[in-house]
Structure 1
Amino acid sequence: MSNSIYQTSDPWENGWATENNTTNQPSHSSTVSPLPVYGQGSSYLTSSQLLNTTNIDNDDDEENTISLSNVPESYLKVHSALSEQLSTVNDLESLVFARLIQLDFVTNYQKSKILDIIYDHNLLPLTIENNFYQVLGLIALEIDVPGSGDYVTLQFRLNNLPQLPSKFVDAVVNGSGDSDFIDPLNARLAKSSLVEDEPVKLSDPILADHSSAGLINNDNIVNRPDPVDNSYITKHVNSIRDTFKPLINANDLIKIKEVPEKEGLLFKHINYIITHDLVLGMNGHGGTKKVIRRYSDFVWLLEFLLQKYPFRVIPGLPPKKFSVGSSPDSQFLQRRRRGLHRFLNQLVKHPVLKQEPVVITFLSVPTDIQTWRKQAKIDNSIEFKGEKISTNFINLIWPKIGEEFLQNWQGAEKSINKLIEIWTKTVLLVERYEKRQQQISYDNGKFVEMINNFKSLNTKLYPNENKVLLGENSTKDDINLINDSLGYISEFFNKSSQTLIDDSYSINTIILEKFKNYLDYLYSLQELFERTKRLSINTIDQLEKRIRENEAKYNKSSTEDADVKGADLAKLRQVIINDKQEIFQQLNRDWLIKNCCFEEFLMFQETQYLISELWIDWSKGRFKFQEKLFGLHENLNNEIANDMPTTR
């Protein structure tokens, strides 16, 4: 049955039965299990391995196995160091990818892409040497040329894979890198030659209280006021949350569709028509707006937003997918279009990002973006450049909510990875449910075909005109009554098949998109946590120490050392002033980051209602579906219960 949706020769396979089809393989296998055909094409982790299953046995299909030779020396070193510790994908993430990300060899997006390939192409379990070497090969290819860490390139270069970076190999072999790394979100001081002799204080620098740092001209904006009434804080919190409404049913405002491929100089490319009726910006006008953008335009927009709004929750993009010599398949293009649709709608629901002039231009100006970029003066500086923190925030709001917010922020950061893992598995289950609906619909079509064929031949087996068999005076025509009822059964399968198709379409285009939409928000928050760690570092504590030392030196020199020249004192005094000005700038930025993260975390609380929305819609959809099926079964029972003869 080659036209099954699972592309398998087994007409009864539903994607679940394969979970127990496992064998124990030797740890020094020289072959790689071929690609499992079910579960292909998912934009998420769609392998049954995700549900704690083991490698699928394909030993019978020896023609599809792949030999890996010429293993690079760096792979052998890493395998030797980790073979006793690495057995699951979680181990791979903590022991390999965590170090790679820490050393800036790969990004989280690259990690996710490689994990997709590992699951989709069944490079599991990792206890098989050949599987682990291929995983390292994907990583090395991605590091060597970003974007080339794909399964096709891996197979072409199995015998000529690049070495892993020596810095990473040394970190794995020697166990270095962990203790030397200071997370700027979890360590108070940045590493500096000025503080090498001081112990690192474990706290949270981006959200830590630097109110002890005085500002120049005695303009101390961090004096603590009298206690503030809680109603003021509640009003402030609610005003922030009210600006963000992420529910899909209420305001899914932008539509996007593909347009036919166009020939470029070398390759074909796909354009997207974006349509909406939004009034964007202060001077925006109403009416329908339509612009055409390429995927590369979306990538540029995302890079711009990450540069200008690093402390905001920025939605992510679906992958581009690298394909050599052929166009991307239509299923992938549909998933990518839906991912772009989610990206745009999440973008315009954000109260800050939707006001960005570049976003407004992207969504409303029909000019080609690449041409516009060459002519426009684009401000890439961080969003709060030149802005001074509100004294209300640091004097009234932060003293009330600072400690609690810090605890909530850290708790969310610790749980986000596990939540993403759980929700990814949930998305997988919804995808598999939809695929089973398709398989049942296909089987119903086969029922119709078999019943009709049976009806066309059974009168030969049960002749209805032979007087010898039926009797001279018989007027009953039982086989035709049976065939009439078989016709009702065939009609039932036709109608139930259409009901299943409608339900599968609803799941795939509506319900599943809402599950993925929430997953996108989880990933966006995770990325915010990681950017905050990387970009929030400051040197306020070191500057304070240096100011104290220089002030003591200045006082001693000006009162006790008569030989000190006036120019030297003036120079030292200017150094002190410059350091105080730098403290002012860093302290102001520190508070602006606090405020920004606080607002984003508050707005993110609104996404909890996406969970309610999607499960309510799922429940309503299942109820309507079961109601339709029940009606079909009831009608069938009424049609055949009394009409099909069971005796002469």
Structure 2
Amino acid sequence: MFNAPRRTNPSLAQSAFLNSAGSSYPDPLASSTPNPGTAGYGDVDPWSGLPSPTRSGTPRRDSEEAITQPDLGAGGGFGGEAARAGDGGGLNGLIADPPALYLSLLDQMDTTPSGDVSISSVHRLLSTSKLPAAAIERIINLTARDKSSLARPEFICALALVALAQSSDSPEPDISIEALVSSLPNLPFPSLFIPAATTSSVIRTEPPVASPSLLTSSPWDTSPRVPTARAPAAQEDTSYTNGYDVGSGVHAVEPSGYSTGSGLAGDAANPEAEAERGYWKRLEKVDVELIKEREGWFLQKYKVTSDKRGGETVSRRYSDFVWLLDCMLRRYPFRILPSLPPKKMSPDAMFLEQRRKGLQRFLGMIVNHPILREDGALNVFLTEPNFEAWRKRVKVSTDEESANKRLSKSEEMNIPADLDEKLGILRDHLPALMGSYQKLVVLAERSLGRLMAASADSSRFALGLHTVGEEMPRCCYRAGAGGGGRCSLCEGVGRGLAEVAESWTKVAEEGERRATVILLGSIEALKAQRDLYVAFRDLFIRHDKLSKDSVDALRKKVETRLKKIEALRAAAKPNWEVEVDKLVSGNEQDNSLITSLLARRVFIRACMWHELSVVFHSRQAAQATLGWREFAKVESEAGEVVTGIWEGLRERLERMPVE
């Protein structure tokens, strides 16, 4: 699906406005190479979930006007510099090399790493241009089409169209791609400023509060009035919950009707499980951020920061993550280890963002594992500033964990006799669990896409109502010379429509904020739970492959040697003592190896029991509970906000003139 060929167009201006997404979102992390060894455990691919969408994928209708430019390479440059670039002139030159002001506005408006700007954010920005509502609606319709966001080329073109409209002396300027291309050599900069509420991903639009001024002053009164100050917006914490950090900000009070215990008798018999109780209150948070500047063509780097290891930021490449996982797999083959997101040549912004989240979940699972978090290689990975030089000068041991650790008698006694049966129960149910969570991730992504599309439609509602509100007083017959130039009825209705449009704008902002919270919290919580099941499936695969040993073969060799020794002693041939000594030495070595392998068997069983009863059991329960608590909290608050918006509007609409 993701690797399907895409439509291409030699003209950058044309390809900038083509809707490359279909009705469903592609999979940026799907790998064409199946995961080896997954047969018998279901067909769930941990990276086959739909990505968190950054734009809507509604196909364009053929009847709509296409925004294309036949040949922009021969056009004039922007500011004289693009004209000297030869083929980089015209609109192509502006999009490929925009002025610094354009890039600054894009960086400030793009609050997510997706590289796109939502329509509601663009609407807020363009509202500061002092252009008529019809002009703003025309610009957004030209650049956004049916999509819920604007990519970088579309956003740059929208800014250029604003500059074109602002530079026109006509009350109804010609806003079109053709007019833009013809005016590019002398196009001024747009006059805009970043509104206070542009960071809609963290700004909460509170319900209107009833105040004396609001109750006594009608918004549709055509007489001059002093604008009422808005109440300050409250901020919502939408910090990313990586790895096991799912809903850690939720108060840990158990609701009535639910048991607070998780097998107290079993925990009392397992000191390690008891020690892990409340682990989610002590989580280490690791942030992974994409560094936009690349080294060469392919080397993409990431900034990694841990809040419990000095807080220093280090730079890492994808190959460094591969090295860390390889060390962990060699050292701890019988521990729960997450998978890495795949690599891809020439990745786009969506793929890079999904891979960044996958890397963050990867580290989040490792640093909060009760055993893996103490690993020295992991600590160096998170703290060493010159990591490449360190790897060259230090030889890292990759000996298996069982070679350096020994179990105490109490630890051996703690392993249940029916461990294989307990593991078998989970093994039988893992495919269903993975499949169910995979479906939940897909459904959540679809719901997020619909929410973002609804937010974009709310912004379009606001645009259309603003336009109608401005045009209604102008088209009234009383606005002519015979009517005195004004119509209080139409002006009052126009003000009312502007208030309705403002409410739609608030709904769009709240939808965008809610989508961001769902994107950063709820969907990542589902993926973290899915990753836990996939990691245990992979643990089963490694166990089946790596737990095999040669104890039985060695025992047969020892028995064969013993029989040969008895035969030599009975025959008493010359120099038989030398041959017997060799056989006895071989038996001693094999018996020592058998003892080590038997100890490894016990250690493997202890690891599997620890991962099942301590790590998996606690994570599975806590992540599900805390994740859905946070989701219910977000949905409840979002409903209250939207209800407050419409309730406040309903009260004000009672005073909107009818006749």
**TM-score scaled by structure 2?**
0.58
Match of 2:553 in 1: 542
User: Structure 1, residues 206-263: CA drift from partner, whole Å, max 9, x if none?
Assistant: xxxxxxxxxxxxxxxxxxxxxxxx999744514245247663x753522232223233
SS at match of 2:270: helix
Aligned position for 1:573 = 584
Contact 1:492 1:632 in 2 (8 A): yes
Question: Structure 1's 344 and 386: CA in aligned 2 closer, same or farther, altered over 3 A?
Answer: closer
Q: Map residues 313-352 of structure 1 onto 2, 5 A cutoff.
A: 313-323=336-346, 328-352=347-371
Quote the residue 1:639 is aligned against: 652
Judged with a 3 Å threshold, the aligned counterparts in structure 2 of structure 1 residues 241 and 507 are, in CA distance, closer, same or farther, namely same
The CA deviation string for residues 387-424 of structure 1, in whole angstroms up to 9 with x for no partner, is 43333333x323xx221x32121111222222111101
Count of residue correspondences? 427
What displacement does 1:315 show? 2.1
Q: What is the CA-CA distance between 1:370 and the residue it aligns to?
A: 2.1
Shift of 1:97: 6.2
Q: Is residue 2:605 matched to residue 1:605?
A: no
Which one of 247, 255, 272 corresponds to residue 239 of structure 1?
272
Would the aligned equivalents of 1:311 and 1:532 in 2 still touch at CA under 8 Å? yes
The 5-angstrom pairing of residues 183-582 of structure 1 reads 234-235=267-268, 237-240=270-273, 242-243=275-276, 247=280, 251-264=283-296, 267-279=297-309, 287-323=310-346, 328-367=347-386, 369-394=387-412, 396-398=413-415, 401-403=416-418, 405-459=419-473, 462-464=476-478, 477-559=488-570, 565-582=576-593
Distance 1:361-1:102 versus aligned 2 partners, 3 A rule: closer
What SS class does the counterpart of residue 402 from structure 2 fall into? coil
Please name the residue that 1:74 is paired with: none
C-alpha change, 1:437 and 1:250, in structure 2 (3 Å) is farther
Q: Is the 8 A contact 1:289 1:364 kept in 2?
A: yes
CA contact (8 A) 1:101 1:108 kept: no
CA offset digits 1:493-515 (Å, max 9, x no partner): 01101111111111112222222
Distance 1:532 1:243 in 2: 24
Q: Helix, strand or coil: the match of 1:636? A: helix
Taking only aligned residues, the RMSD between alpha carbons, in angstroms, comes to 3.7
Call closer, same or farther: CA 1:108–1:420 in 2, change over 3 Å: closer
Aligned residue for 2:291, secondary structure, equals: strand
* 8 Å Cα contact 1:45-1:428 kept in structure 2: no
Where does residue 589 of structure 1 map in the other structure? 600
Change (3 A) 1:358 1:411: same
Alpha carbons 1:41, 1:332 under 8 Å: kept: no
The residue aligned with 2:59 is none
Question: 1:16-35 alignment to 2 at 5 Å?
Answer: none
Q: What's the CA shift for 1:373? A: 1.0
**Greater CA drift, 480-489 or 232-241:** 232-241
Distance 1:316 1:606, change over 3 A: same
| 1:265-316 per-position Cα deviation (integer Å, ceiling 9, x unaligned) | xx2422222223424xxxxxxx432211111111111111111111111122
2:653 counterpart letter in structure 1: I
Name the CA shift for 1:485/1:386 in 2 (closer, same or farther; >3 Å). closer
| TM-score after normalising by structure 1 | 0.59
Counterparts of 1:627 and 1:434, CA distance in 2: 19
Asked whether the equivalents of residues 313 and 525 of structure 1 are also in contact (C-alpha less than 8 Å), the reply is yes
Distance of 2:342 and 2:444 partners within structure 1: 21
- Residue 312 of structure 1 contacts residue 600 of structure 1 at CA under 8 Å; is this kept in 2? yes
| Secondary structure, aligned partner of 1:377 | coil
Distance 2:350 2:20 in 1: 18
Q: In structure 1, what residue type is equivalent to 2:287?
A: K
Assess if the C-alpha contact under 8 Å between 2:305 and 2:313 holds in 1: yes
Is the contact made by 2:331 and 2:398 (CA closer than 8 Å) also made in structure 1? yes
Separation in 2, partners of 1:420, 1:459: 60
| Distance in 2 (alpha carbons) for counterparts of 1:251 and 1:464 | 68
What is aligned with 2:24? 39
Aligned letter for 2:417? G
Per the alignment, do residues 591 and 626 of structure 1 end up closer, same or farther by CA in structure 2, a change over 3 Å counting? Answer: same
CA distance in 2, matches of 1:452, 1:542: 84
- Please give the alpha-carbon distance, in whole angstroms, between the structure 2 residues aligned to 1:376 and 1:425: 44
One-letter identity of the residue aligned with 1:604: F
Quote how far apart the aligned CAs of 1:564 are. Answer: 9.0
102 and 337 in structure 1: CA distance in 2 versus 1, 3 angstrom threshold? closer
For residues 87-102 of structure 1, the aligned pairs below 5 Å read: 101=37
Shift in CA distance, 633/519, structure 1 to aligned 2, threshold 3 Å:
same
Q: Quick one: distance in 2 between partners of 1:626 and 1:292?
A: 41
Q: Distance in 2 between matches of 1:379 and 1:487?
A: 69
Paired residue type of 2:401: E
The offset of 1:520, in angstroms, is 1.8
Contact kept in structure 2, 1:44 and 1:428, CA below 8 Å: no
Cα distance, 1:231–1:411 mapped onto 2, change above 3 Å: closer
- Residues 261, 269 of structure 1: 8 Å contact kept: no
